[in-house]
Amino acid sequence: MPQLRQNIILKEWVVIATERAKRPEQLREEKIPDCDSLPEHDDKCPFCDNPRSHKEQEFLRVPETGPWRVRVVANRYPALEPPTDSIHVYTEGFFRWMDGIGHHEVIIESPKHNETIANMDIGDVELIIETYRKRYLALKKNDYLETIIPFRNHGVHAGASIPHPHSQIIAVPVIPRDVMTRMNESIRYHEEHRGCVFCKVLNNELEVGERIVLETPDFVSFIPYAAASPFHTWVFPKRHSSDFGDITDEDITDLAYVLRGTLRKIHIGLNDPDYNFIIRSAPRGYSNSEFFHWYITIVPRLTRTAGFELGTGMFINPSIPENDAEYLRSIKI
């Protein structure tokens, strides 16, 4: 019998289609892993060191002198651009619009064209997360930016147009509806139960244990009870914190281990699937809140959104979260 499971954070329902559920290994991508088929250097790649290299504004280079390990540059084709004047909201009949202001930058994660977080040295992953923190805090100083979203698209089906290892940060002058829904639902839970719904979910997962993928003293990755898609994974800090920018150097060490380890299990177990990961942090005005808990969402692109999902906003997951977690735990890294 299929199940309807509710995401307690968003109050959204998900269909766990047990009757059509596939074994985890059946969801493996039948392809050569992208990074295994790529050269270490590509003369045509704008992120590799060559005459065609990315010449846009550089925000950060690590280290500052000598061969670089991580670079942060302006996106060559930005979705949004910094304001050149005061910010205005306009009306057009009963519609509203504003100039497409914001910030859009690229984190080039390695000089090597064929690397990915799943196969990097742990020190390189720590450096990437440290770079996220630096740029997140730098962007947070801009009062006009309300929401900052670091994210990574891996593979064509996840939206990546360049295979060279990179992630992005987009910051916008509004709080998007999806972000606001998380805030409102967490506020409602806090008012009704005097606690953090994210901490409640986290503590339940730690107690039950069957959906946990990888755990350290300070971080844990797990498949949520109402996962919207196969191998949909969350990475939570165990310590309550609403703002990603508050992570310590010690946190970065632990997070690097859990993030790389989880992505490596997905890489090996599912044959390097396309995926997105998103860092979900509190928007401006909600830092240091008792009701919100920042976390990372990892979404392997193993299924397609179809008419039912588009018509209802309700997802059908043809995979059982407990089985997915058990399978990933079994993958040796």
pLDDT band at 18 (very low <50, low <70, confident <90, very high): confident
Q: What pTM did the predictor assign?
A: 0.94
Number of domains in the chain: 1
Q: Which range of residues forms the domain containing residue 325?
A: 37-330
Domain membership of residue 3 (yes or no) is no
**Residue 20 domain-assigned (yes or no):** no
Q: Is the pLDDT of residue 326 over 70?
A: yes
39-59 pLDDT, tens digit each: 888 888 999 987 555 567 899
- Looking at 103, 166, 232, 293, which residue is catalytic? 166
- Least confident residue range of 28-32, 153-157, 164-168: 28-32
Residue 132 belongs to a domain:
yes
In a domain, 30, yes or no: no
Mean pLDDT score of the chain: 93
Residue 30 has pLDDT above 70, yes or no: no
Q: Residue 138 is part of a domain; what is its CATH number?
A: 3.30.428.10
Provide the pLDDT for residue 52: 58
Q: What is the mean predicted confidence (pLDDT) over 130-134?
A: 98
Residue 198 located in a structural domain: yes
Q: Is residue 131 part of a domain?
A: yes
Indicate the pLDDT class of residue 87, thresholds 50, 70 and 90. confident
Q: Tell me, yes or no, if 190 is annotated catalytic.
A: no
From residue 41, give the alpha-carbon distance in Å to each of 44, 48, 119, 222, 290. 9, 6, 16, 35, 46
88-127 confidence digits (pLDDT tens): 889 999 999 999 999 999 999 999 999 999 999 999 999 9
